[in-house]
Amino acid sequence: MSTLSGMETLILTAIILLLTASWRLYQKRKYYCSVTSKLPTFYGIPFFGVAYQVFDVNKLFRIISAGNDVLKTATACAWVATTPYVLTVDPEVVKRVTTSPEFLHKATDLYTHFHNGVLNGIIVSPVKKWKTNRKAISPFLAHSNIIDMFPAFNENANNVKNKLAGLAGVGEQDIFTIIKECVLQLSFLTVLGIKIEEGTEKHKEILRVFNALVDHMKLDLWFGSLGLVFLSRTPRYKRIIKYLCDPVRSLIKEKLSRKGESEAVNSLENNQQTVIDLAVKSMRQGIFSEKDVEIESFTMFAASFETSASAAYTCLVMLAMHPEIQERVFQEVRSVFPDGVTDVKYDDLQKLRYLDMFVSEALRLVPPITYTGRQTVRDTELCPGVILPKGTQVFVPIYELHRCKEIWGPDSGSFNPDNFLPENIAKRHPYSYMPFSKGSRNCIGFRYAEISLRITLFYAVRNFKFSTTSKYEDIVFVPNITLSYKIPPLLSIETRAN
């Protein structure tokens, strides 16, 4: 009898919970009816929405693309679990979302994996804090400071060249690891002012642990989409974060102990200001707390490392997969550096127009960041007739925006640097292309990334010819912090005679 009574109680409890959840879902759908009644909406499965699609990024992209084609719309709404998200590839709507003050907040759910105590800096911080902190750090990316980084950029590119030389003539090899090793050193040096000796156990361990951090953040991203982010915050995750932050914390304490030292002094031999120097300066001025110094320094370090390494690897893969384009890039680089590359100056960057077109096309088809998202700070008109309630999250699927046939033509998925000829650029809406996002909350380090990437390519293309048996049409992408390859293509390297 007691067993039967217990079962009845369990069933009754389950019914009450289901009815409560159903009522809340009904109320939420009613709250957002001003959006869903105006935009084509993907509801998916009750209580789950289309959440099951986030685990297959290629399938998700195809669904978004098919939805745009079938519904004849560039802006739609999709329910993930019990939350609606607006998605848009309409360049005019993208412009509004990325430039309007009503959309200055970052989308909460899209950046859950950044709220881990070390990366929740200017990438995701609330508007008021973001404005203050970005202003404090912006001198790091001033033109004069980037010019001062050129010796470090050249040294890093030469280091990549020397490592690739060791793989020449031995068949297809994994070059992504080499690129990450070198970019890790560059990020430590330019962002934190720390010189990590290559090949040491410390260097290898930091790279291994950082890769583990990225893997955990991927789980954050998946679980966060279902409101279960706590499942990824394991004790191991916390140990990884502590290990990576310890050098930053030690450096902060060291700098704070030098009370009589000039703010401009750092561990580099020139006048370059590192992020940690600027952050410590802001702390002494009462703008930053010590935790702010740690977070902003680590955020810039991690962002510069992950995006720069991914972009450099993608460009070399695209060169290997498109030999005719590679040859044209090589001939242009050789025309500027006929005797080889030894020291790239800023003026050299202005002389390689086709390489610029190639890089832009590579970042169009394989953007490091696949999504950007904003959140309304108040009830806001998205486009004529569509009012978004306060707190509505709007996502821009950059990957799909860059492949939209209405913008890029019927061959939008093909690799064609001519997409970036001046006359073709002039035909497109300026918000059709945004590998580093757009607007006031764009990627603050895009100039750093663009310049360091090009210098790396100068050295690599001038000295080597790349090839691969992997096919461009067979590439499969997987969701990660940056867009990643399910099977990273291996490359063969051949040293050029001249």
Q: Across-strand partners of 495? A: 464
Distance in angstroms (rounded) separating the CA atoms of residues 257 and 440: 35
Pull the structure tokens for residue 483.
């867009």
* 404 labeled part of a ligand binding site: no
Distance in angstroms (rounded) separating the CA atoms of residues 350 and 340: 18
Distance in angstroms (rounded) separating the CA atoms of residues 130 and 125: 5
Distance in angstroms (rounded) separating the CA atoms of residues 169 and 2: 77
Distance in angstroms (rounded) separating the CA atoms of residues 406 and 398: 15
Distance in angstroms (rounded) separating the CA atoms of residues 376 and 388: 7
- What are the residues whose beta carbons fall under 8 Å from the beta carbon of 228, sequence distance 6 or more? none
Binding residues for heme: 443
Binding residues: 443
